[in-house]
């Protein structure tokens, strides 16, 4: 029985991590007979559900990733099994059970329908030890280096702590260095890269420095830390952390999450920091000659025009000082407390100001 990963440009990071665990699997761009493995986010769900619905292959369809994990019931309308949360242990075990005709009910961390059509969700799995699993298989596909997983915060709109848990886990420096040797330019994924080595709340910049120093010793040409696809929480932007960037890294920009210029909204979404924390972190960036790229969201439930104006005021201040902004409209994601919320309309003024900033290249994103 063939085992196949459904490959597309949007899921290369998750497949980079999973492909080495099912080493004989094929990479395919359409349904194929055998076991078909998909990984996707909410944005891709419509096209993927449609593809699976129309498939005329003899396949067992497995889904994993952010959307299926948060919405297993919906996913099981199209798929045979859902891997919930981390796939490193669950996926190989599930594939093995299917191939050998064993009962899948003993596989932890999955959802499926039994013979009567009832949805069964098996026991949750413990979070994995990242060092036991490769970042990627260089013969298959490479991705940014995942240095940490999980997040101690519980921002209401975010899937990360729901998928990966509230305890931050880190790949060891030795393990990161092993995979870093494949690259000349290094980029990383983490819920908060400056929280490397810590519990995600109390910084351990000594450990961040050990990591950056070890990476520098690999002969890497460029190290991009605290930039896309990772970001930094405002309270982790300090003189010490910015000095580490200046000392070891190529980037002169840092991506950080502000989300709103309203303290009421920040409290409501459980961000765990204030507007003052954001401003303080931005001032530090400017003092150190580092350009902040600041993430904002708009359309929170019950967000008023005045609260959107507060975000705009902060956005305009950032842009005036030379920073950049990335703004997007709130997407209520499955598996989060915001899954069913009613988003708020975006004010005319927000659209107008952001449109102007987009024309000058200072703002990017989709806020409509």
Q: Which position among 11, 39, 44, 160 is part of the footprint of ligand SF4 (CB under 6 A)?
A: 160
Binding flag, residue 155, ligand SF4 (CB under 6 A): yes
Q: Which of residues 206-235 bind ligand SF4 (CB under 6 A)?
A: 233
Of 241 and 347, the one with the shorter C-beta distance to ligand SF4 is 241
Taking Cα atoms as reference points, which of 84, 78, 142, 76 lies closest to residue 114? 76
End-to-end distance of the chain based on CA atoms, in angstroms?
46
Taking Cα atoms as reference points, which of 362, 267, 344 lies closest to residue 308? 344
Q: Which position among 16, 95, 158, 208 is part of the footprint of ligand SF4 (CB under 6 A)?
A: 158
To ligand SF4, the closest distance from the beta carbon of 27 in angstroms equals 29
To ligand SF4, the closest distance from the beta carbon of 6 in angstroms equals 26
Taking Cα atoms as reference points, which of 85, 9, 16 lies closest to residue 44? 9
Pairing of strands 81-83, 26-28: unpaired
To ligand SF4, the closest distance from the beta carbon of 79 in angstroms equals 26
Question: Do 325 and 362 form a contact (C-beta atoms < 8 A)?
Answer: yes
User: CA 192 to CA 195: how far, in whole Å?
Assistant: 5
Binding flag, residue 191, ligand SF4 (CB under 6 A): yes
Q: Which of residues 313-342 bind ligand SF4 (CB under 6 A)?
A: none
Q: Which position among 64, 161, 234, 335 is part of the footprint of ligand SF4 (CB under 6 A)?
A: 161
Of 161 and 165, the one with the shorter C-beta distance to ligand SF4 is 161
Q: Which position among 38, 133, 153, 196 is part of the footprint of ligand SF4 (CB under 6 A)?
A: 153
Binding flag, residue 165, ligand SF4 (CB under 6 A): no
Q: How many residues does the chain have?
A: 368
Span interacting with ligand SF4, options 76-84, 122-130, 152-160, 237-245, rule CB under 6 A: 152-160
User: CA 66 to CA 196: how far, in whole Å?
Assistant: 23
Residue that has been written with the tokens 């989709």 in this structure: 366
Q: At what angle do helices 348-359 and 305-320 cross, to 10 degrees?
A: 20
Span interacting with ligand SF4, options 9-17, 60-68, 114-122, 156-164, rule CB under 6 A: 156-164
């Amino acid at each position: 029985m063939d085992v196949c990963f459904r490959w597309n440009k949007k899921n290369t990071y998750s497949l980079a991590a999973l492909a080495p665990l099912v080493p004989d699997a094929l990479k395919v761009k359409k349904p194929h007979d055998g076991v078909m493995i998909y990984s996707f986010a909410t944005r891709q769900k419509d096209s993927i559900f449609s593809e699976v619905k129309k498939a005329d292959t003899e396949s067992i369809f497995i889904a994993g990733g952010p959307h299926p994990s948060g919405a297993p019931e919906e996913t099981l309308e199209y798929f045979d099994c859902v891997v919930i949360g981390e796939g490193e242990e669950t996926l190989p075990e599930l594939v093995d059970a299917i191939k050998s005709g064993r009962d899948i009910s003993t596989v932890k961390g999955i959802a499926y329908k039994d013979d009567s059509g009832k949805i069964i969700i098996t026991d949750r799995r413990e979070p994995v030890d990242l060092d036991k699993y490769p970042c990627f298989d260089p013969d298959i596909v490479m991705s940014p280096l995942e240095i940490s997983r999980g997040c101690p915060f519980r921002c209401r709109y975010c899937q990360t702590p729901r998928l990966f848990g509230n305890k931050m886990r880190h790949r060891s420096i030795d393990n990161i260095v092993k995979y870093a040797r494949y690259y000349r330019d290094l980029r990383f994924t983490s819920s908060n890269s400056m929280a490397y080595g810590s519990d995600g709340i109390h910084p351990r910049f000594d450990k961040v420095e050990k990591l950056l120093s070890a990476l520098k010793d690999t002969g890497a040409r460029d190290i991009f830390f605290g930039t896309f696809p990772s970001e930094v929480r405002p309270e982790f932007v300090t003189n010490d952390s910015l000095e580490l960037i200046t000392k070891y890294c190529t980037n002169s920009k840092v991506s950080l999450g502000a989300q709103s210029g309203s303290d009421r909204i920040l409290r409501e979404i459980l961000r765990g920091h204030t507007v003052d924390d954001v401003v303080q972190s931005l001032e530090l960036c400017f003092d150190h000659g580092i350009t902040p790229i600041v993430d904002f969201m708009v359309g929170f439930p019950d967000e008023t025009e005045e609260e959107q104006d507060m975000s705009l005021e902060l956005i305009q201040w950032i842009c005036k000082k030379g920073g950049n902004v990335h703004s997007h409209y709130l997407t209520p994601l499955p598996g989060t407390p915001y899954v069913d919320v009613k988003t708020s309309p975006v004010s005319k003024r927000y659209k107008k100001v952001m449109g102007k900033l987009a024309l000058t290249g200072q703002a990017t994103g989709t806020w409509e």
